[in-house]
Chain A
Amino acid sequence: MTRHFAALAAAVAAALGLQACVTAGAYFGATTPPTDKTLIVANQSEPRSLDPHKTAGVPEANVMLNLYDCLTTYDPQTAEPIPCIATSWEHNADASVWTFHLRPEATWTDGNPLTAEDFVYSWRRIIDPATASPYANLLYYVKNGEALNDGTAEDLATLGVRAVDAHTLEVTMERPTAFFVSMTPHYAFTAVPRQAIEAHGDRWLAPENHVSRGPFRLVKRTPYDRIVIEKWDGHWDAARVQLERVIFLPIEDQNTAVSLYKANEVHVLAGGGQSVPTAFVKALRPKLDFHVEPEYGVYYYSLNVNRPPLDNKLVRRALAMSIDKKAICEKFLGGGQVPAWNWIPPKTPNYPYPTPLQYNPEEARRLLAEAGYPGGQGFPKIEIFFNTLESHRQLAELIQNTWRRELNIPVELNNQEWQVYQRTRETRQFDIARDGWIADYLDPNTFLDLFQAVTLNNHPGWANAKYSKLLDRANSDPDPLRRLSLLAEAEAILLDEMPVIPLYYYASVKLRKPFVEGWGDNPLDQNPLKFVSINEAWTPEAGQAH
């Protein structure tokens, strides 16, 4: 108990202290640029691993993005794929075979040339069930990927990837996949150094054994202290790299991270999602170095369409229309989240968003009456399931009360441990379940694909023949614009049927010193550091004029 109190007291002191320190001025804390070209990043937590095949976390991704070049990389402004190791790519008529042309001058840090064979080796390694990679599912789009990973096929050579020659990689897809290139900046598709892995086994990640290929190389790794990466002069794109050194600090406590930022001991708070405590958002909002951007992810409730009364489309629509999402985002969440009426988050390039439902409790009551429950009469008790977390609980309490007030229907809450909860969702033992989906690549398909068929991730258990057909047609369509309009048609069906109630789009909340330049606020929150620089000449006056 004493510890509990001590922790509480410390938290109170820290928060009150910081709050008092959010003072006047355009920026939060010191803004003197460092002169040693060293960027210091607060990286949320200690990476589980720097092996691209053994982790799925955001702190890991922040480091690995700069150590291992992928076929393509993220455009810092839009997160669209731009050439990296692959200088160009093409696909056949229905996008079922992709060919990538690799940069011949790219090498590993040990001097070995980087070849298409390295990618073949790596993709076979990540799909191998013995590797147990948490991101293996991204390669399920490649021919035989899923069968190899779940053990129904065993010969790794049957994976649909082939080195045509040293610098040409040919990928055969499981089915037409017109969006494949938008997945390729992801580190699951990178190449790992076969020579180092075979020589050192699991120890290949120690800095002295480590072989990488990115604009930076690993210099030092002290668990729970720091990871240091330095510019690698042998990189094919070294001329572009401005930073000499980047230090990643694993700072789990957000209050500590904010204090270090204020003292200019940290230049960027990275790590995806909410990296600033909600309590500070209000006070920090006017600061010029505070950034809020919607993320490519959606928080939603899955409605079990196989259980009455949620099998009735009218009921599902009534439930969705009675929730005031704007109030939830502005008055409850307050962290820059955007109310979600569409299924696809904003900022998808060229995507023609269909018109969604609107907040209308009157209409919701009418729909409920039409469904046979006038004034909520006879509506059976339904249960909202969520995994244990304060914010999930509060939102569920809010929605429980909203539905009771607006529609007069009885709702119960049930929270579960994550593991138990996952099982509940996958076996569809729920009426309504909290859910969230954050995209791994920038394409509406990552969201729409969930309902392509009744799979484990399709928690509502909803399927629609027309919808599936539209997705298939879209993903084999070589014309990008026509493809996107087909996807929008599919989304319109989804919004009409409402097997899910999108509640809000996630937002990333960031602090970033004004002298850090070249950092884009893209929806995937991916920033290759080779585009980032520190402007040593930056002064507050220059910043204001800017």
Chain B
Amino acid sequence: MLSFIVKRLLQVIPLLLVIMTLTFFVMRLAPGNPFASERQLSAVIQQNLNRRFGLDRPIFYLSVQESWTQFDPDGNVEYVNRSIFRPFDPPETRSFALVRWNGFDNQYNSYFFGRYVADDTTKARNWEWGVIGGNFGPSTRFTDARNVTDIILAGLPLSLNLESSPTSSRFASGFRSA
């Protein structure tokens, strides 16, 4: 019995990965965008927002890059990044790197399936794991660049603690809409 339960639980892991991936693509394919609201944003501002949150990048793009470090004329450290293999070029040359040689990168690379595998929009380090590493990237809901993981962790004790509050239904509905 125990082995059956363990086996079923283990089966869940690949299932979750597939679900996550599919959901990611379905979300990207669907019309709309997190900044769609009643207030109309001009095209320029929309484009700036899309760029900031990595929404301007094509869903799939293959690029093999090399990067190195050098000193610029003022003596500052400079990271240089060059694409050496790019079989199909999207109209905008910012995209996801499938394979990279080096840990350093500029802000337009290190994406594979959006922020599915790797993510750099948090900018805390040059490169971080993406969704499969448990990093859900910056929140488009809280635009002051709070990390989605932080929000989930901050909300968790609250939603586990509902009974202690007299106005608990309010919290519950709030959490649901997160």
Contact = CB atoms under 8 A, between A and B. Distances in A.
Pair from one complex: yes
Interface of A: 46, 48-51, 54-57, 129-134, 136-137, 146, 149-150, 202, 205, 222-225, 249-253, 256, 260, 265, 417-420, 422, 426, 436, 438, 456-457
B42 interface: yes
Contacts of B48: 129-133, 136, 149
B177 A51 contact: no
Contacts of A51: 143-144
A49 B158 CA distance: 20
B35 A134 contact: yes
B51 A225 contact: no
B177 A48 contact: no
B144 A136 contact: no
Contacts of B158: 222, 224-225
A422 B158 CA distance: 38
Contacts of A205: 144
A150 B53 CA distance: 17
B174 A418 contact: no
B31 A48 contact: no
Contacts of A133: 45, 48
A40 B177 CA distance: 22
B43 interface: yes
Nearest to A47: B142
B109 to A, nearest CB: 16
Contacts of A256: 169-170, 173
B90 interface: no
A48 B142 CA distance: 4
Contacts of B35: 134
A50 B145 CA distance: 11
B86 interface: no
A256 B177 CA distance: 15
B175 interface: yes
Interface in B1-57: 31-33, 35-45, 48-49, 51-53
State the 9 A-B residue pairs at the shortest beta-carbon distance, nearest first: A224-B174, A49-B144, A132-B52, A202-B145, A132-B48, A150-B44, A418-B36, A54-B143, A49-B143
Given A56-B39, A205-B144, A225-B171, 7 more contacts: A48-B141, A49-B143, A57-B39, A149-B44, A149-B45, A224-B175, A252-B174
24 contacts: A50-B144, A54-B144, A55-B143, A131-B52, A132-B45, A132-B49, A132-B52, A134-B35, A136-B48, A137-B45, A149-B45, A150-B44, A222-B154, A223-B142, A223-B151, A223-B178, A224-B175, A249-B170, A252-B173, A256-B169, A256-B170, A417-B31, A422-B36, A436-B38
B82 interface: no
B134 interface: no
A502 B35 CA distance: 27
Interface of B: 31-33, 35-45, 48-49, 51-53, 141-146, 151, 154-155, 158, 167, 169-171, 173-175, 177-178
A417 B32 CA distance: 7
Residue in B39, B48, B51 with the greatest tally of chain A CB atoms within 10 Å:
B48
B144 A224 contact: no
Contacts of B36: 417-419, 422
Contacts of B167: 260, 265
A224 B31 contact: no
B142 A49 contact: yes
A124 B62 CA distance: 35
A515 B68 CA distance: 66
Contact of A251 (B31, B51, B170): B170
Given A223-B151, A223-B154, A250-B174, A457 B31 contact: no
Contacts of A253: 173
Nearest to A137: B42
A246 B38 CA distance: 28
A252 B173 CA distance: 9
B40 A46 contact: no
Contact of A426 (B33, B43, B45): B43
Given A54-B143, A55-B143, A224 B171 contact: yes
Contacts of B44: 137, 146, 149-150
B51 A48 contact: no
